[in-house]
């Protein structure tokens, strides 16, 4: 069988190096993701099997350490130290590099997800799925899309054991009585697992990877996800506490956009984020309290829902509230009540257009009264182009009333798919009226403010300011001394002295 090598690179996980090849096989309809790990001699494998039992006996773990995902790194270090001492006794002639590889393999097998640990450390992957023991694992590659891997599983029990390990780390259980699991790995990666016969082809695991190096607004502008003027306009909206809903389809980048907009919040304001799984990453100096939901235990007790956290958050004196996703009527009502009582709120919603966003909010199952939904100031719609494999901010709209007093979405900016450019469709009415009321600025002053912000964004891009703390520091400095930062941008000074 002939093959064409598309790309080759290396990945390392817990000291174990792996070679990754993306290959096009003649008789296959999809590209292959091929993982090659260092071969271990049969005699050494036998020593490792003996080593496992000794390490387990000699490394004493408390119940808390075993189930606490935060303690995983400490547990790995305990295993590594003990295994190194035992390897020195059993295989004294072995090189240090080889010992590290052997110990890494041991950690993956005893504390991790086996070969899947390599995939978790590949920054080019967004998602990985196990469909059962009769099929190899699949991955979603940022450049190539879905790829079939060469990673297979002995049987359904092996997949079940991985699912059970994931659940145990976060105090959850998966069994024939509870065959569905939503959890997260210590790295923050979102995980879903199902058991046969609910999934009829076998036990499944789906892992959506959490960004190790979070995106920033400068990244989004550089890769074309968002236009500079749109970014500057949204910066102005966030600065002066307008409410923003980000909508789009599955995997369109809703949460990612919300994440990159958060550093635009002034540092003297208290931010509370409410999520099912921690995905938001804000600059360290912001006054930020992250809250996450919790599933009930097998007896149905101890659960903490998003609604519970939302009601509680209103008692914590927040200036800004970020909610992972609007899903249910009660949750939405509390969210919109927060908007009407003076809190600035940001959230996401599944909807493909700005018009559909409004319709979803005022109709079942969310079904929020129109008088509450009009508190939404800005709606940004994200779009995923699957053919060209990129994401774009497709629409930016304001929510207004028409002549019949019905809510409608008035699109201000729209992405043109043909030329991959964002076009300004019309001037804002409602948003600028709200800003005028909040700030006292004239229309000319607002336009100048947006131009100044565009200059600063261009300046950050030219000087490769692409970390969350870097972007956040410059934005915070701008809020303290706006004229100084605008002048630095105009005179092309080095921004790195600011952080």
pLDDT value, residue 56 = 66
Question: How many folded domains does the chain comprise?
Answer: 2
Structural domain span for residue 18: 3-208
**pTM metric for this prediction:** 0.81
Token pair for residue 453?
A: 């912000």
* pLDDT for position 64: 57
Q: Do residue 56 and residue 102 come from a single domain? A: yes
Degrees to nearest 5, angle at CA 88 with 86 and 90:
65
Regarding whether 228 and 133 lie in a shared domain, the answer is: no
Contacts of residue 405, Cβ cutoff 8 Å, sequence gap at least 6: none
CB 326 within 8 A of CB 335: yes
For residues 39 and 139, membership in a common domain is answered with: yes
128 and 30 both lie in a single domain: yes
Q: What is the full per-residue pLDDT of the chain (499 aa) written as tens digits?
A: 789 999 999 999 988 899 999 999 988 889 999 999 887 776 677 777 777 777 766 666 555 555 555 667 777 777 787 777 777 777 777 777 887 888 888 888 878 899 999 999 999 999 999 999 999 999 999 899 999 999 999 999 999 999 998 988 777 889 998 899 988 887 778 899 999 999 999 999 999 987 767 899 999 999 999 999 999 999 999 999 999 999 999 889 999 999 999 999 999 999 999 987 777 878 888 899 999 888 777 677 888 988 899 999 999 999 999 998 888 888 888 888 889 888 999 999 999 999 999 999 999 999 999 988 989 999 999 999 988 889 999 999 999 987 777 889 999 999 999 999 999 999 999 999 999 998 999 999 999 999 999 999 999 999 999 999 999 999 999 999 999 999 999 999 999 888 7
| The pLDDT value given to residue 447 | 96
Same domain, 421 and 293: yes
49 and 193 inside one domain: yes
**Same structural domain, 187 and 221:** no
229 with 369: CB under 8 angstroms?
no
CA distance 173 to 370: 41
Same domain, 263 and 166: no
CATH code of the domain in which 120 resides: 3.30.450.380
Q: 180 and 324 share a domain? A: no
The radius of gyration computed from the CA coordinates of the chain, to the nearest angstrom, equals 25
Pair 405, 294 in one domain: yes
The pLDDT assigned to 486 comes to 97
Residues 256 and 112 in one domain: no
User: For residue 163, what pLDDT is reported?
Assistant: 95
Strand order across the beta sheet in which 407-416 lies: 287-292, 270-275, 320-323, 344-350, 244-248, 378-385, 390-401, 407-416, 421-424
For residue 266, give the CATH number of its domain.
Answer: 3.40.50.300
Nearest residue to 129 (alpha-carbon basis) of 105, 109, 154, 159:
159
Domain boundary among 208, 231, 261: 208
Asked if the peptide bond before residue 197 counts as cis, ω within 30 degrees of 0, the response is: yes
Among 173, 208, 243, the domain boundary falls at 208
Based on the domain organization, do 183 and 259 belong to the same domain?
Answer: no
């Amino acid at each position: 069988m002939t093959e064409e090598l598309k790309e080759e690179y290396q990945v390392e996980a817990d000291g174990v190096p792996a070679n990754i090849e993306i290959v096009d096989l003649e008789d296959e309809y999809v590209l292959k993701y091929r993982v090659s790990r260092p071969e271990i001699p049969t005699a050494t494998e036998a020593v490792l099997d003996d080593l496992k039992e000794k390490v387990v006996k000699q490394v004493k773990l408390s119940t808390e350490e075993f189930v606490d995902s935060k303690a995983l790194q400490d547990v790995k270090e305990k295993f590594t130290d003990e295994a190194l001492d035992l390897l020195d006794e059993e295989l004294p002639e072995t090189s240090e590099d080889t010992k590290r590889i052997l110990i890494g393999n041991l950690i993956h097998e005893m504390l991790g997800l086996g070969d899947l640990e390599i995939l978790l450390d590949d920054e080019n992957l967004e998602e990985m799925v196990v469909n059962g023991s009769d099929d190899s694992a699949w991955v979603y590659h940022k450049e190539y899309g879905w790829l079939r891997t060469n990673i297979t599983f002995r049987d359904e029990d092996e997949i079940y054991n991985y699912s059970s390990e994931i659940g145990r780390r976060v105090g959850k259980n998966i069994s024939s009585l509870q065959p569905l699991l939503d959890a997260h790995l210590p790295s923050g990666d979102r995980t879903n697992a199902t058991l046969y016969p609910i999934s009829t082809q076998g036990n499944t695991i789906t892992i959506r990877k959490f960004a190790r190096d979070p995106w920033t607004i400068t990244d989004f502008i550089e890769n074309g996800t968002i236009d500079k003027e749109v970014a500057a306009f949204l910066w102005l909206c966030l600065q002066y506490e307008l409410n923003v809903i980000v909508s789009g389809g599955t995997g369109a980048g809703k949460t990612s956009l919300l994440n990159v907009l958060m550093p635009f919040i002034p540092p003297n304001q208290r931010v509370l984020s409410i999520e099912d799984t921690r995905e938001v990453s804000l600059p360290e100096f912001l006054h930020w309290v992250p809250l996450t939901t919790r599933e009930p235990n097998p007896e149905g007790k101890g659960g903490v829902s998003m609604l519970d956290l939302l009601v509680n958050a209103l008692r914590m004196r927040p200036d800004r509230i970020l909610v992972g996703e609007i899903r249910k009527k009660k949750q939405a009502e509390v969210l919109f009540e927060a908007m009407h009582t003076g809190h600035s709120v940001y959230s996401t919603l599944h909807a493909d257009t700005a018009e559909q966003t409004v319709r979803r909010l005022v109709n079942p199952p969310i079904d929020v009264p129109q008088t509450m939904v009009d508190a939404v100031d800005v709606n940004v719609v994200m779009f995923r182009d699957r053919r060209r494999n990129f994401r774009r901010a497709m629409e930016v709209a304001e929510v207004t009333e028409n002549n019949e007093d019905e809510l409608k979405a008035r699109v201000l900016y729209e992405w043109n798919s043909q030329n991959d450019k964002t076009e300004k469709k019309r001037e804002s009415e409602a948003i600028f009226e709200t800003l005028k009321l909040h700030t006292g600025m004239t229309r000319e002053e607002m336009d100048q403010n947006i131009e100044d912000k565009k200059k600063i964004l261009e300046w950050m891009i030219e000087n490769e300011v692409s970390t969350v703390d870097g972007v956040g520091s410059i934005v915070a400095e701008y809020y303290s001394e706006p004229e100084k930062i605008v002048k630095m941008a105009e005179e092309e000074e080095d921004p790195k002295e600011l952080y």
